[in-house]
Structure 1
Amino acid sequence: MVDFYLENVIKEFGNLRVLDDISMKFQEGKITCILGPSGCGKSTLLNMISGIDKDYQGNVAGFDEKEMSFVFQEDRLIPWLKTKDNIEIVLKKKYKIEERKELIYKYTSMMGIDKYLNFYPKELSGGMKQRVSLARALSYGGEIIIMDEPFKALDVKNKNKLIRDFKTIQNEEKKTVIFVTHDIDECLELGDEIYILTDKPTKIKRKVNSNISKKEILEIVEKD
C-alpha cells in the first residue's frame, strides 16, 4: 500500500528551477532510495517531505502528523554529552525514564555500541559516532526514517559493516525509510526501490527495483 507520495512537484529558487515535475511513491515498511548527483536537489526533496520547505508547486501528501527520525551525513552529536545522553536527549519529551533506558539499551546493543554508553563523541571513531546517530534515530521510534547520505564520510569497511547491521534491524522492524545518496552500491545494498535523478533541472530518469545490476544503473545514469 502506498501511504506517502510526491506528485508533480516543482521547486524554484528565483529563476533557477531545481526540481522539475517530480512524482514519487514511498511504500510503507520499505526502503526507497533516491539516487542523484551532488547538488541535484536531493536534500531539497527531503526538506519538502519533512515539512521544512513548503514553498513549492505540486503535492506532497501523507507525511503530515507522521513522526520522523533523521540521520544526516554529519553525526550531529552534542560534544559535551556522553553517548547515552546524546540518545536520551531526543527521547525525553516522548518517553518516561524507564522506557528511555530500555530503548537506549535495545538500540545501542543492536548497533554494537552498548559498551560505549559513557564515551564522549571525541572518544569515538567516525563509524562509531554514526552508529550513535542511527541508534538515536531508531530509538526515537519515528514512523518514517529520513537518511541523508549517512555513510558518505565513512571508509568502505565501516560503511559496509554499518549497512549490514542497519539491514538486519530493518528486516526486523520494517520501518519506512527514505534514503538519499549518490552512491550506487549503497542503493543496491539497501533499496527496495530506487529513483534515479538527473542533474538540474532535476527530473526522474527511471524508477527501478533493487534486483537491477550496477551496470544497468550506470547505463541509465550516463544516458542523456
Structure 2
Amino acid sequence: MIRLDLSSGPKWLDLGPGLRLHVLPVTTAIMVAARNDPVVEALPEGASKEEQALVMAKAVARRVVTGWEGVGDADGNPVPVTPEGIDALLDIWPVFEAFQTRCLTPHLMLDAEKKRLRTLAEWHFGGGDRYCEACQGPCPDCPGRANRPLTPEGWQVWDLAQRLTGQLRIATGMGGATVLGWDMGAALTIARALGVDPLIAAECLPDIEAVMVRKLNEQMASGARSAPGPER
C-alpha cells in the first residue's frame, strides 16, 4: 500500500547508520520555490532525469534541512549546516537516494495524485457521467477510469469531494446563480469525521474545488444545468 505520509511539523529523518537530518515540512510553497531556484532553472534541456532529480533534491534540502547528526569534516569534527555542506552531502549517492525516498517521494506523489484528481474532476463535473450512460460497457479510454486515484488517500479525498454537494456556497443576483465553492470549514469537519487526513484534504480539495466551480458555472451559464441549490 502506498501512503501519502505528510508531516505538519519538523522531524528527524534517519538516512543511514549514524546519519540523520532535522527537516522542516516540505510544503507546496517550498516545492514551488525549489522549482524556481536559479540552479534548477539553469538546467540544460538535455539534462538527464537523474541530474534533474539531484538538483531538485538539493534545492529542497537547502530550504528544509535545519540540523544534522553524523556529518563531520575530514578530521571527523562535527560541522554546521551550510548550503555547500548540504550539496556535498547529497552528492553521496546513498544519502541522496535515502533523502529522495524519505523526504521527497511522498510530496512528489501527492503532486501526481493532485494532477489526477484535477483531471478526474474536469471529467466528472463536466458531465462525464452523462457520457458513460451512452456506453455499452466499460470503456478502456474513459477518463473516469484512466485518472482514478492511485492511493487510498486519493480515493478518500475523491469520495469526500463527491459528498460535498450540500456544502456548496452559491450567490444569487440579477445575472442568476453563481457557484462560489465549498464551505471549506464544513468540508474539513466532514473529512475528520470520515477519517480523511485533514492535511491531505486541505492540500487536494482546493484543486478539485477550482475545477468544480468553473465547470458548474459554465454549465449553468449555458443552461445545461439549473442552479444546484439555495444560497448558502
Would the TM-score normalized by the shorter structure come out above 0.5?
no
Larger radius of gyration: 2
Q: Which has the higher strand share?
A: 1
TM-score scaled to structure 1, two decimals?
0.27
Q: Considering Cα pairs closer than 8 Å and 6+ residues apart, tell me whether 1 or 2 has the greater RCO.
A: 1
TM-score scaled to structure 2, two decimals?
0.27
Q: Which has the higher helix share?
A: 2
